[in-house]
């Protein structure tokens, strides 16, 4: 079978199974270790029986619901490649915007060259912590996660990308509270999906991504409530807190932060799709 024939089969098969018809192209690029332009230039090449068998298996796996990122083992985030498996949430473009806004807000709060401690809570693949360290190398960065298998993925990414990050296993801010350790910047993309939403979500997400990283009680706000109890114990002033939130949750989380830090400058930022996606609190 030629490359173009394999892609045509994959497109039709995936469409019949309510999956993205273009996923076959991504899978074949990965399998053949070719860029998109290389693949398109070689459309009339014959696939070996071994490659065709692997390609069919990968396409069928995706049709059954396995995310492409778990099949190929990686996802792009902020211009870098992160290894992912089913122990971690797949990094999303919306979280890149959390990084972007944080970097923009830092100069107004902190002096240039100031030694700052940043904590990423619920780090998963390590995408936030590692990216912040690589974008702002002077930062001292710590990252926590309650799950040891997630931390193993994050450590592997930090090593592969050359980022010096301290990884700590623990529940939310407890590792810092127990050590009486303070932080200047706290970022988190915690679970924020209401549990009942699971019924209407794609099996690509609910059947494969870790539920501990997705769901947070009846209204999706359970983790933010816990943060509010613990944040005053570890935040330095001046300080910056940045959360990713679910669409429609921005004002509720902003109100929580204002009740916890009445003097803070709290802002809700929209993502590229004009949905409220990030909430920041500048402590002064």
Does 78 show up as a binding residue in the annotation?
Answer: no
Q: Residue 123, annotated ligand binder? A: yes
In this structure, how many other beta carbons lie within 10 angstroms of the beta carbon of residue 13?
17
180 assigned to a ligand binding site: no
The two tokens of residue 225 are 């409530």
Q: Is 93 assigned a ligand-binding role in the annotation?
A: no
Q: How far is CA 103 from CA 106, 132, 137, in A?
A: 5, 8, 12
Tell me if 191 is assigned to a ligand binding site: yes
Q: Is 53 annotated as a binding residue?
A: no
CA distance 203 to 64: 9
- Asked whether residue 189 is marked as a ligand-binding residue, the answer is yes
Q: DSSP letter at 45?
A: S
| Residue 212 structure tokens | 């501990």
Output the CA–CA distances (angstroms, integers) from residue 58 to 49, 176, 259, in the order listed: 14, 42, 49
Place of tokens 């929580």: 256
The annotation status of 271 as a binding-site residue, yes or no, is: no
Show binding-site residues for substrate.
Answer: 189-192
Show binding-site residues for S-adenosyl-L-methionine.
Answer: 122-126, 145, 189
Show binding-site residues.
Answer: 122-126, 145, 189-192
């Amino acid at each position: 079978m030629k490359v173009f024939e394999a892609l045509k089969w994959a497109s039709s098969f995936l469409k019949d199974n309510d999956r993205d018809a273009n996923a076959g192209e991504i899978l074949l690029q990965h399998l053949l270790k070719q860029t998109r332009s290389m693949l398109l230039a070689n459309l009339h090449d014959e696939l070996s029986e071994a490659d065709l068998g692997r390609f069919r298996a990968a396409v069928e796996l995706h049709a059954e619901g396995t995310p492409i990122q778990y099949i190929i083992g990686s996802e792009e985030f902020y211009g870098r490649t992160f290894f992912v498996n089913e122990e971690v949430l797949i990094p999303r473009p919306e979280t890149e915007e959390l990084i972007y806004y944080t970097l923009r807000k830092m100069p107004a709060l902190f002096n240039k060259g100031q030694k700052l401690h940043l904590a990423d809570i619920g780090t998963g693949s390590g995408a936030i912590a590692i990216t912040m360290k690589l974008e702002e190398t002077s930062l001292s960065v710590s990252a926590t996660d309650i799950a040891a298998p997630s931390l193993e993925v994050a450590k592997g990414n930090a090593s592969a990308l050359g980022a010096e990050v301290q990884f700590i296993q623990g529940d939310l801010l407890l590792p810092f509270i127990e050590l009486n350790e303070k932080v200047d910047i706290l970022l988190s993309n915690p679970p924020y999906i209401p549990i009942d939403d699971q019924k209407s979500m794609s099996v690509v997400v609910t059947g494969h991504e870790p539920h501990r990283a997705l769901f947070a009680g009846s209204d999706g706000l359970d983790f933010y409530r816990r943060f509010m109890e613990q944040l005053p114990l570890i935040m330095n002033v001046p300080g910056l807190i940045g959360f990713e939130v679910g669409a429609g949750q921005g004002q509720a989380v902003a109100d929580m932060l204002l009740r916890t830090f009445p003097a803070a400058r709290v802002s809700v930022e929209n993502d590229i799709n004009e949905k409220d996606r990030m909430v920041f609190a500048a402590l002064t």
